[in-house]
Chain A
Amino acid sequence: MKLSNLRPGRLQKAPEFFLTKDVLATKGDDRRSFLRKAFIAAGGAASAVAAPNLLAQTAAASAGDPAILNLPAHSKGLGAPVAAKGYGTPSKYEENLQRRESPGLTRVGAASVSFAPLQGFFGIITPSGLHFERHHQGFWDIDPRDHRFMVMGFVKNPKVYTMDDLMRLPSISRMYFIECGANTGMEWGNVAVPTVQYTHGMLSCCEYTGVPLKWLLDDCGIDLKNAKYILAEGADGSGMTRTINLKNALDDVMVAYGMNGEMLRPENGYPLRLVVPGVQGVSWVKYLRRIEVGDKPFGAKDEVIHYVDLMPDGTHRQYTSIQEVKSVITTPSGGQVLLDKGYYNVTGIAWSGRGKIRRVEVSVDGGKNWQNARLETPVLDKCLTRFNFDWTWTGGDAILQSRATDSTGHVQPTMTQLRAKRGTRSIYHNNAIQSWLVSANGEVSNVQVA
Chain B
Amino acid sequence: MFKLPNCRTSLVIGFLSCLLAAIAAFNARAQTPGRPATPAEIKAWDIDVRPDFKGLPAGSGSVAKGQQVWEAQCESCHGAFGESNEVFTPIVGHTTKADMKAGRVAALARDSVPQRTTLMKLSELSTLWDYINRAMPWNAPKTLSTEEVYAVTAYILHLGDIVPAEFVLSDKNIRDVQAMLPNRNGKVSKQFMWDVAGKPDVQGSQCQVNCDPKVELTSRLPDYARNAHGNLADQMRLIGGVRGADTTKPAPSSFAGAVARVSALESKPKLNEGNTPNPAKLAQQHACLACHGVDNKMVGPSLKDIHAKYKTAKDAATLLAAKIKAGGSGVWGAIPMPAQAHVPDADIRAMAEWIAKGEFK
Contact = CB atoms under 8 A, between A and B. Distances in A.
A138 interface: yes
Interface in A408-447: 410-414, 417-418, 420-422, 425, 429, 433, 437, 439-447
B257 A339 contact: yes
Interface in A131-188: 136-138, 150-152, 157-162, 164-166, 168-170
Interface in B121-136: 121-124, 126-127, 130-131, 134-135
B204 A417 contact: yes
B143 to A, nearest CB: 10
Interface residues of B, number: 118
Interface in A241-295: 241, 245, 247-248, 251, 278, 289-290, 292, 294
5 contacts: A165-B34, A191-B221, A219-B29, A443-B256, A445-B221
A93 B200 contact: no
Contacts of A429: 193
Contacts of A322: 192-196, 198
Interface residues of A, number: 141
A238 interface: yes
Given A159-B36, A320-B191, A447-B217, 15 more contacts: A98-B235, A107-B88, A109-B290, A111-B88, A170-B2, A191-B221, A194-B228, A233-B45, A289-B45, A304-B187, A315-B188, A321-B194, A368-B215, A369-B210, A446-B220
Interface stretch (A8-16, A42-50, A329-337): A329-337
A421 B34 contact: no
Interface of B: 1-2, 29, 32-37, 41-42, 45-48, 50-52, 54, 86-88, 104-111, 116, 118, 121-124, 126-127, 130-131, 134-135, 138, 141-142, 186-189, 191-196, 198, 200-213, 215-221, 225-226, 228-230, 232, 234-245, 247, 251-258, 260-262, 265, 269-271, 284, 287, 289-290, 293, 296, 298
A299 interface: yes
B322 to A, nearest CB: 25
A290 B34 CA distance: 14
Given A245-B194, A318-B187, A322-B195, A54 B262 contact: yes
Given A169-B33, A237-B141, A248-B196, A191 B219 contact: yes
B211 A421 contact: no
B260 to A, nearest CB: 4
B203 to A, nearest CB: 6
Q: Nearest 6 A-B pairs (CB), nearest first?
A: A314-B109, A411-B204, A219-B1, A366-B215, A165-B33, A314-B108
Interface stretch (A21-29, A202-210, A305-313): A305-313
A92 B271 contact: yes
A365 interface: yes
Nearest to A415: B218
A129 to B, nearest CB: 15
A310 B229 CA distance: 27
A159 B34 contact: yes
Contacts of A421: 201-202
A349 interface: no
B243 A193 contact: no
B241 A100 contact: no
Given A218-B1, A233-B48, A410 B242 contact: no
A278 B296 contact: no
A117 interface: yes
B289 A158 contact: no
Select the residue from B204, B210, B215 with max chain A CB neighbours within 10 A.
B204
Given A304-B122, A370-B208, A158 B36 contact: yes
A245 B190 CA distance: 12
A366 B118 CA distance: 40
Contact of A198 (B107, B130, B195, B229): B229
A437 B215 CA distance: 12
Nearest to B225: A194
B290 to A, nearest CB: 4
A445 B220 contact: yes
B304 to A, nearest CB: 15
Nearest to B283: A109
A442 to B, nearest CB: 5
Nearest to B271: A92
A371 interface: yes
Contacts of A367: 211-212, 215
| Residue of B35, B217, B235, B251 ringed by the most chain A CB atoms within 10 A | B235
A102 interface: yes
Residue among B121, B123, B193, B194 with max Cβ neighbours from chain A (10 Å): B193
B45 A150 contact: yes
Given A316-B186, A368-B215, A369-B208, A299 B1 contact: no
Interface string A80-98: 0000000000001111111
Given A299-B124, A305-B121, A320 B194 contact: yes
A418 B202 CA distance: 6
A447 B243 contact: no
A5 interface: no
B222 to A, nearest CB: 9
Contacts of A357: none
Contacts of B138: 137
B220 A191 contact: yes
Nearest to A336: B242
Contacts of B260: 337, 339, 442
B235 A195 contact: yes
Given A159-B35, A305-B118, A410-B203, A324 B87 contact: no
B36 to A, nearest CB: 6
Given A198-B229, A247-B195, A449-B215, A160 B41 contact: yes
Interface in A52-111: 53-55, 92-98, 100, 102-103, 107-111
Nearest to A248: B196
A332 to B, nearest CB: 6
